[in-house]
Amino acid sequence: MNKISLPLNSKMLTKEFTYGVATASFQIEGASEKRLPCIWDTFCAKENTVVDGSNGDIACDHYNHWKEDIELIDSLGVDAYRLSISWPRVITESGELNSTGVNFYLDILNELKKRNIKAFVTLYHWDLPQHLEDNGGWLNRETAYKFQQYADLISQAFGDRVHSYATLNEPFCSAYLGYEVGVHAPGLVGRENGKKAAHHLLLAHGLAMSVLTKNSPDSLNGIVLNFTPAYAIDDKPENITAASFADDYFNQWYIKPIFDGKYPEIMQQLPQSCHPDIHREDMAIISHPVDFLGVNFYTRAVYQASDVDYFDELPATGKLTDIGWEVFPKAFSELLISLNERYNLPPVYITENGAAIDDKIVNNEVIDQDRIDYYQQHLLAVNDAIESGVDIQGYFAWSLMDNFEWAEGYLKRFGIVYVDYESQLRTIKNSGHAYKTLISNR
């Protein structure tokens, strides 16, 4: 059935619950020649970094198609659009606003406002200006202060057009994938890097929170974190310990400092060379109160004890999406409930959730039943968490449209709208129609 349904009495069927679609600057905009280079331009230009050898030069050419893309967003009937700002498009190398770049976003924000679509703006979705990387990137504490200056200037320029600001998207990916295992830009490898980069990212978040609170007191200001819940393969104590370590290393590392002002205790087990340089005031800055927490969820991971490392991640089994991630919606509700138990959470927004499917377009139609099923199961998981007392106020489908899926290039499609990259034609998939029907039936 081309339909997504929820229990009739669900809070998610009221107009108070926000439904949206999400994108990110580097993944859709293109027009790379009209901004400063970023770390993803450099990374894509290296050999064997992106599976199909592609880059973000054109992507979905959203820079030139933004008007019709907003028309498309509006046609889906959503309440909100989550987009990210390209730092290298709006700030010059000397640290001033670039008016051409700022005007591009002002036009978008004005159009969203005109159409009564709430703008959820993310300030950093991985496209660090290359000149900052040349100076050490997120391994350099100074980058956190540069981010604060950017957040200050851009939030003043945007005025009251923004409904919600997220400082960072998924700092885990920036820190771990980018600086520790090197599968994302800037492609650095070394266990000693990851937690140092993470600390500067979290510091950047805290510093930006203080300027957002001052410049934009009426918007919901917070952060977007991704979670891949860690499950032990079985009940053996050593496997449970391994999964718990992985959970602290990958998930709790990014949320605990924000809500508890501390890093997980596993820090003591990590070699000194991996420890970040924490200044006296840092944890207070990082734990600045947030108005909302954005949660991104796609899948879970399963662990067992290892003889050579802290844990051993097992290959995904069961039903997998096209990117190889297990479909396991129960982990979503369990995650939301456990975060709510562990932390004093503000309202939660599901800022990303979705599935990569090997879509085929036939006669202008994309029959993506697996994606519809994924949305159905995961929206029900959100509903379960709400019924268990978690204050969840909104849900964003990732993604509005197919786009540049980082190290996978254009080979993995996450959109509820199909993009033909040759013609730049957009076609709403069956999942997009199903999402629209759910929203409009409220």
Binding footprint of ligand IFM on the chain (CB under 6 A): 24, 27, 170, 296, 352, 398, 405, 414
Three-state SS across 289-323? CCCEEEEEECCCEEEECCCCCCCEECCCCCCECCC
Residue 317 CB neighbour total at 10 angstroms: 8
Distances (CA, A) of 203 to 172, 186, 213: 13, 19, 16
The neighbour count for residue 373, using CB atoms within 10 Å, is 18
β-partners of residue 122 are 84, 166
| CB of residue 93 to ligand IFM, shortest distance in Å | 25
Of 181 and 270, CB closest to ligand IFM: 181
CB of 145 to ligand IFM, least distance (A): 25
Rounded CA-CA distance 390/379 in Å is 14
- Give CA separation, 356 vs 69, 210, 323, 435, in Å: 21, 36, 6, 16
Helices (H) and strands (E) in the chain, counts: 15, 13
| 88 closest CA partner among 80, 97, 79 | 97
Residue nearest to ligand IFM (CB): 24
Of 29, 180, 334, 352, the active-site residue reads 352
182's torsion region: left (phi>0), alpha (psi -120 to 50) or beta?
A: left
Compute φ and ψ for 83, nearest 5 degrees.
-130, 165
Minimum CB distance to ligand IFM smaller for 263 or for 374: 374
Please report how close the Cβ of residue 7 comes to ligand IFM at its closest, in angstroms: 28
Q: Which two tokens stand for residue 143?
A: 């980058």
If the CB atoms of residues 41 and 405 are measured against ligand IFM, the closer one turns out to be 405
Cβ of residue 226: shortest distance to ligand IFM, in angstroms? 6
Active-site residue flag, 93: no
* Shortest spacing between CB 217 and ligand IFM, in angstroms: 28
* Of 169 and 193, CB closest to ligand IFM: 169
Tokens of 274: 């991996």
Query: Which is closer to ligand IFM, CB of 352 or CB of 373?
Result: 352
Ranges assigned E (strand) in 127-177: 164-169
Residue type, 36: L
Options 133, 170, 405, 408, the catalytic residue: 170
Determine whether 352 is an active site residue.
yes
- Taking the complex as a whole, how short is the minimal distance between the CB of residue 399 and ligand IFM, in angstroms? 7
- Do 19 and 395 touch, CB atoms closer than 8 A? yes
- Which CB, 155 or 399, lies closer to ligand IFM? 399
Q: Is the peptide bond before 399 cis (omega within 30 degrees of 0)?
A: yes
Nearer to ligand IFM, 248 or 402 (CB): 402
Compute the distance between CA of residue 148 and CA of residue 172 in angstroms, rounded to an integer. Answer: 19
309's CB contacts (< 8 A; 6+ apart) are: none
Nearest distance in Å: CB 211, ligand IFM: 24
Catalytic site residues? 170, 352
